[in-house]
Amino acid sequence: MGLTGHILTMAQKTPGASIPITSYRQNICLSEKMPFEKVAEDFSKLKLTLLNCDWEQSAKIIQMSRVNERLSNQLYQQNTNPLSGPTRLGNYNVSISDVPQALTVLCHFPFTYSFSESLMVSQVNQGGNYLAVTLPRLQHTPFYFLRLLIYDETITEYGYDEYGFQKSEYLMAEKLASEYGYTGSWGGDYPEIMAGGFLASPYLLAEHSEYGRLFYIYDCRGKISCLFEMIPVGESVLVFPHSYRTRRNFSEPVKVYFQQNANVSIWGVDKICNPAAEHVILYHNPGIMRLKFPNASVATGCILGGLDSIPYVSCEGLHKKQNHILISENTFDLAFALNLAVAMKRQGVPVVRFMKMEAANRCETDYNWDGIMYPATQLSDMQIQKITPAELRLLAESNGVQIPENFVNYFEQVY
């Protein structure tokens, strides 16, 4: 690291201490036992398989899920009094049936959802009576109440995209999410959702969902902190935070797509916290977790959720490590690295560096991850080198990527 116009002070070596301490302003940085050049050399010999994650589409579906949950909550709150009559939702009236029969709604687009109690949908006829109606296109969505809200106005028989949703649903979810004050897709505080009961025990969850696979994120103590699901759809991979929520009168859990915690855990923090791990390579693609380095000195971590999740990332385990954010020259990587670096500095992480893939051989592939095939791109013969914060900023600016506030203050005045 180059220092220009700043004073480098060496802390006095304590008797018996084997690691000298270097002080950059108020940041304490342990010297490296393994040089970066060795990390880069080992990295370049590996094959990195990047899943074709579509964070934007995943975020849209998560947003629809949260809005649907809000509408569902409102329905159940308004139906607490059986004498109040059905609740109005869009052009229809919805009531919870007292008849103990189960209505199961399964959709295959590629999500599953189930109701364990009967919901009656009706309209008022000319005589003022409630007349039950059957709406067939409600059977093909996990977000029943969101679709019902706009059913007559915009839902058409042939308007589905490859994920099983219609444009009007995305637009309505975006509008309502703005009204409700929802931000982000993986982290954040959603009191009206978080107040419900969750079945957090992994023993209640299957290893495989109908289309994808569940993965566990462990904390530094080795306990499961959250789960997520990856689902291949066409040439893309959708990634969702995952939990099961119980509701009053529901005999079985109902699947929803939002995380239980306000903070986003780094996938791999359990290995990052291993005292043997000195270097940590951070990236946004799950494929980084399949790299196997020759020794335990190098650990990898994945920040799921794309750019939306960065404000909520928990930097647990990173404060005593040599941290390297992996980038290439695509604009998403550059924006991700800049914003993650600032978020890490705000949480007091002293060592945040950048490593760049200068070149690599690329090959489109289908990657078998524990029995599920995911569309992916495999990189080999990679050329890895260190890139300074100033070089990263110039590269980002030349690619039209906005520099986040305080990046220069955190980095270029120190390194």
Instruction: Indicate whether 39 belongs to any domain.
Output: yes
Q: Is the dihedral of CA 238, 241, 247, 252 positive or negative?
A: positive
Tokens describing residue 361: 């051989």
Q: How many degrees, rounded to 5, is the angle at CA 325 between CA 323 and CA 331?
A: 165
Instruction: Indicate whether 411 belongs to any domain.
Output: no
Instruction: Indicate whether 325 belongs to any domain.
Output: yes
Cβ atoms of residues 188 and 182 within 8 Å: yes
Q: How many degrees, rounded to 5, is the angle at CA 336 between CA 163 and CA 266?
A: 80
Cβ atoms of residues 108 and 100 within 8 Å: no
Instruction: Indicate whether 341 belongs to any domain.
Output: yes
Instruction: Please tell me the predicted confidence (pLDDT) of residue 26.
Output: 36
Domain of 273 in residue numbering reads as 35-53+261-404
Instruction: Please tell me the predicted confidence (pLDDT) of residue 91.
Output: 79
> How many domains is the chain built from?
1
Prediction pTM value: 0.83
Question: Other C-beta atoms within 10 Å of 32: how many?
Answer: 15
**Those residues with Cβ within 8 angstroms of residue 139's Cβ, 6 or more apart along the chain or in another chain:** 105, 106, 107
d(CA 367, CA 369): 6
**Inter-helix orientation angle 55-78/167-180, to 10°:** 70
d(CA 166, CA 105): 18
Instruction: Please tell me the predicted confidence (pLDDT) of residue 254.
Output: 62
Instruction: Indicate whether 81 belongs to any domain.
Output: no
Instruction: Indicate whether 276 belongs to any domain.
Output: yes
Instruction: Please tell me the predicted confidence (pLDDT) of residue 110.
Output: 53
Instruction: Please tell me the predicted confidence (pLDDT) of residue 222.
Output: 85
Q: Which residues of the chain have pLDDT under 50?
A: 1-29, 99-108, 116-117, 415
Instruction: Indicate whether 225 belongs to any domain.
Output: no
Instruction: Please tell me the predicted confidence (pLDDT) of residue 2.
Output: 39
Instruction: Please tell me the predicted confidence (pLDDT) of residue 186.
Output: 85
Instruction: Indicate whether 149 belongs to any domain.
Output: no
